[in-house]
Structure 1
Amino acid sequence: MSEDFYEVLGVSRDADADEIKQSYRKKAAEYHPDVSDDPNAEEKFKQVKKAKEVLTDEDARAAYDRMGHEQFEQAEKRGFDASENGQDPFGGMGGMGGGQGSPFDDIFEQFFGGGRGRGQQGPRPGRDLQTGLTIDLEDAYFGTARQMTVTRPERCDDCGGHGHPEDAEARTCPGCEGRGQQVRVQQTPLGRVQQTTTCPQCEGEGELYSETCDSCDGEGVVMEESTLTVEVPEGIRDGQTLRMDGEGAPGEPGARDGDLLVEIAVEADERFERDGDDLHITHPISFPQAVFGDDLRVETLDGTVSLDLPRGTQSGETFRLRGKGMPRLQRRGQGDLFVRVQVVTPENVNEEQRDALEAFAEAGGEDIDVKEGFFEKIKRSL
C-alpha cells in the first residue's frame, strides 16, 4: 500500500471528515486481521488506522498537509518538536470551531487530570458551529428578531444518533478490547508520556456492530436545513458574536449539543458614522443660520431632535447631543450624537441675494471682484 494517508484511504485531498470515516470503515473491514486473507493484512490495517487518526484530527491534518508525509512521520518520531523549521506541527494550541485540540491536551490530562483532550471519558459533546448575520444600523439600534436558515448536522432520528440499528449484533472491539481507548507511549518535548486516545476503530464505543444505519451511514448524524430565530439585542456592534445554546452540532447520545455562534455584521449607514456607542453626523446649514443662529432640527435614529445653534457658528464646528447615540449593550443609557455643521455655499443666487451679499461685503470693508456670466451682465445692463 502507498504510505500517503490520502492514498491509503482512497480519498481526495479535499475530502471531508465524513468521507474519510466512511472510507476508513470499508478499508478496516477489508484488512482486519481476523477476516482478511491478505498476508500483509495486519500492517495494512495499521496504516489505515493511522491514516484515519491523522486525517480526522483538524490540527494533525493541517500539519500533515503543510509538512508532507515524510517530514510529518519524522517529526512524529521526534515527538513533534514545535520548533522544527519554525513550524508548529500541531498547527496551534486550540481555537474555535470544534477542533479536536492538540496532542499536548493529552499531556495535560496525564499530569493534571480532567477532560482536556481526546482521552476524556464519557460521550463526547457536540462541537460549536459558526455562521454570520448581516443587519443595518437601525436594527442594531432597536434590536431585532431575524429568521435565518442554516444547514447543520442533526441527530439521526432512525438510529437515535447511535449509528446502527437497535437490533444490530454487537461484538467487542479488538482494537481496544472494549475499553474504547488505546494507550501508547509517545516521545514529547516534555519527555516520554503515556498517552490515552479514543480508539479509532470503534471511535470510543468499545463495540463494533454488524450493521450500520442506512439513513446516516453509521455517523449518527445527518445534514438538514433548520430555520432559527436569532434575537439580536439593541446596541450590538459590528463583529460581535451571539451564542445560541444547544443549536450547534449534536453530541453523542447522553452528551450535550454544541452551540451556534452567530457573528453579527452591521452595515455602514449613509447618514451616521458609528464610533463605539457614539454616532457622528454632518448637518448642512446656510450662511444666515451660521451668522444669526437657529433652532435646528437634527435627525437621529429615533426621530428628530432640536439643536440650539448659536450665533456666529463656524463651519466645521461640532455639537454634542448627550444620550442620542447608540444604546449601550446590556447596560443602561446611550452614547452621544455628535453633530458637525457645515455651511453650504449656494451655487446660484438671485439678483436680490446678490445685491445683499455685495452690500454685506462692502460693509465689512471687503473689496470683492464679483465676476459675472455673459447673460448676467446683459441682464444688469438693461
Structure 2
Amino acid sequence: MKRDYYEVLGVSRDATEQEIKKAYRGLARKLHPDANPENTEKAAEQFKELSEAYHVLSDRERRARFDRYGHEAPGGFDFDLNRDIRGGGFADLFDMFFGTSSRQGSGRSAVQRGSDLRYDIEISMEEAYTGVEKTIEYRRLMFCVDCGGTGAAPGTKAESCSTCGGVGQVQRVQSTFFGQMSTVSTCPHCQGAGKVIKSPCLHCSGDGRARRKTRVSVKLPAGVDTGSRIRLSDQGDEGPESGPAGDLYVVIHVLAHEFFRREESDVYCEVPLSFCQVALGDSIEVPTLNGGATVTVPGGTQTGTVFEIREAGFPHLRGRGRGDQYVTIQVVTPTKLNAKQKDLLKQFGEECKEQWTGARSFFEKMKDAFVGSAHRE
C-alpha cells in the first residue's frame, strides 16, 4: 500500500511550496542511489517513492487532486521517473549532485542586472528636521561611448566563441545510475557571452561599460535619521550588454548639533538659568528646530528639572505626528562677583538661614556619620 505523499516528504498537509521543495532536496541527497553504493536497490525504491511524492505535491493542480481523492484520484498522476528526469522535471536534483542543470540551455546566459551602488551623505540636524533636496555627484558604469558598448576596440568587432559555437554554453555527458545524462554548463572560455573580444576597447577594457560622473537630485523627507536609506531606482551601474541598471542607495548621516540632541523622534537640550531666574521664576524663550517656544519657569525650580514642549520634535517617518522636545534646566553659579554683589549675597544668605533647613539637616547627618565612625574606631 502506498504511503501518504506528505508522510514520504515528512511535511504537514499545509506545507508551503518552499517547505516541500526544501524537504525533497534534503531527502534526495540522502536517498539517491549514488549516495548509497552499499544498497542501491533499496535506495532506488526509496528515491522513486520520494520523487513520485515530489512530482505530485510540487504541482498545484496535482496536489489539489491528491488532497481531495488521495491515491485514487481519477486518471492518476502520470508519474514516470526517467521521463521526468530527462525532461528536466528534477533539475534541482542534478544541480545538487553535479553542479549543473539537466535542462537543455536556450543559448547565452540571461541578461545581467547592473550592480547596486551606495552613496553616503551628511546633512545638518535642521535639514533632517525640515527635509531637504540635494544634488549629488557620483561615478557609475555606463554605456561606453568609445566602442558603442561592444567592448571591442574601434574598427574591430567581437568574434564568435570557438569553444561553444556562440551559444554561451557547452554540453557534456555523464554516467549516472539512470544511464547517460546530457548536461549543459556555462562556457568556460567566453563565460557565457558566446563571443570573444581579441582587441578590447582601451577605454572600457572590453567590458562595454565605463565609469562616468553622474549628477542626480534626491529628496530627503523630513524626519530622516542617521542610517536612513533612500533608494533611487535604476541609478546604479548599468548592466552589461544593455542589461537593466542597478539601484543607488543614499545613506544618510545626520551631523551632531551644538545645542540639540536627538533620540528617535524626540529632541533634548539644556538651558542655563541664573539663580535669580529659578528662585523668582521667569518666562524664557527656548530655541527649537522650528524657531522657538516660550517656557514658564516657576519660582523655586531646581537644577535638573525637565520641561516638555509638545510636538516640537521630529516628524515620524511612519505615521502621523511628531516627537517632543525636553528642556533640562541647569542653574549657573556666578564666578565673578564685585564687592557689592558679594555683600548682597551675604545679606541674602543670613536672611535665608532659617529657610535652608534641608541643607542644614543634610550636613548635620553627614557630621553625625563621621563622628560616629571616629568613636567606633
TM-score by length of 1: 0.57
Distance in structure 2 (CA, Å) of the matches to 1:167 and 1:332: 61
Alignment of 1:160-179 (within 5 A): 160-164=148-152, 171-179=159-167
- Match 2:301 to one of 306, 313, 316: 313
User: 1:217 matched to which residue of 2?
Assistant: 205
Partner SS state of residue 327, structure 1: coil
Which residue is equivalent to 1:238?
226
Q: CA RMSD in A?
A: 3.4
Separation (CA, whole Å) in 2 of partners of 1:283 and 1:120? 69
Q: Decide which of 238, 244, 258 is 1:250's aligned counterpart.
A: 238
- Looking at structure 1, the residues matched to 290 and 173 of structure 2 have their Cα atoms a distance apart, in angstroms, of 65
Q: What is the CA-CA distance between 1:157 and the residue it aligns to? A: 2.5
**Cα offset, 1:277, TM superposition:** 1.1
Gaps of 5+ in 1: 1-105, 114-118, 187-193, 369-382
Q: Which residue of 2 aligns with 1:303?
A: 291
| Structure 2 partner of 1:275 | 263
In the alignment, the residues of structure 1 paired with residue 281 and residue 344 of structure 2 have an alpha-carbon distance, to the nearest angstrom, of: 19
Q: In the alignment, which of 149, 153, 156 is matched to residue 144 of structure 2?
A: 156
1:287 aligns to 2:269 (yes or no): no
Q: Which amino acid aligns with 1:319?
A: F
How many correspondences in the alignment? Answer: 250
Partner residue, 1:356: 344
CA distances 1:159-178 after superposition (whole Å, capped 9, x unpaired): 44332379856654233343
Decide which structure has the larger Cα Rg and report it.
2
Residue identity matched to 1:178: G
SS class of match (2:301) = coil
Q: Which residue of 2 aligns with 1:64?
A: none
* Unaligned segments of structure 2, at least 5 residues: 1-90, 102-106, 175-181, 360-377
Partner AA of 1:175 in structure 2? T
Higher helix proportion (structure 1 or 2)? 2
In structure 1, give the amino acid aligned to 2:232.
Answer: M
Question: In the superposition, relative to structure 1, how do residues 109 and 284 fare at CA in structure 2: closer, same or farther (>3 Å)?
Answer: farther
**Pair 198,250 (structure 1): closer, same or farther in 2 beyond 3 Å:** farther
1:148 is aligned with what amino acid? I
**In the aligned structure 2, how far is the partner of 1:108 from the partner of 1:271?**
63
Change (3 A) 1:182 1:298: farther
TM-fit CA distance, 1:258: 0.7
* 2:346 partner SS: helix
Would you identify which runs of 4 or more consecutive aligned residues in structure 1 move more than 6 Å? 106-109, 183-186
Shift of the 182–294 alpha-carbon distance from structure 1 to 2, 3 Å rule, reads: farther
- The equivalent position to 1:208 in structure 2, one of 196, 202, 219, is 196
Per-residue deviation, residues 269-297 of structure 1 (Å, max 9, x unmatched): 11111111111100011112212221110
CA distance in structure 2 between the partners assigned to 1:133 and 1:293 by the alignment = 44
Q: For residues 9-56 of structure 1, give each alpha carbon's deviation from its aligned partner in whole angstroms, at most 9, with x where no partner exists.
A: xxxxxxxxxxxxxxxxxxxxxxxxxxxxxxxxxxxxxxxxxxxxxxxx
**Partners of 1:174 and 1:201 in 2: CA distance:** 9
Length-normalised TM-score, structure 2: 0.58
Q: Which residue of 1 aligns with 2:9?
A: none
Residue 180 (structure 1) shift: 1.6
Shift of 1:321: 1.0
CA distance in 1, matches of 2:135, 2:231: 15
Quote how far apart the aligned CAs of 1:306 are.
Answer: 0.6
Matches within 5 A, 1:3-22: none
Q: Using a 3 Å threshold, how does the CA distance of structure 1 residues 299 and 155 change in structure 2: closer, same or farther?
A: same
Q: State the 1:364 CA deviation.
A: 2.4
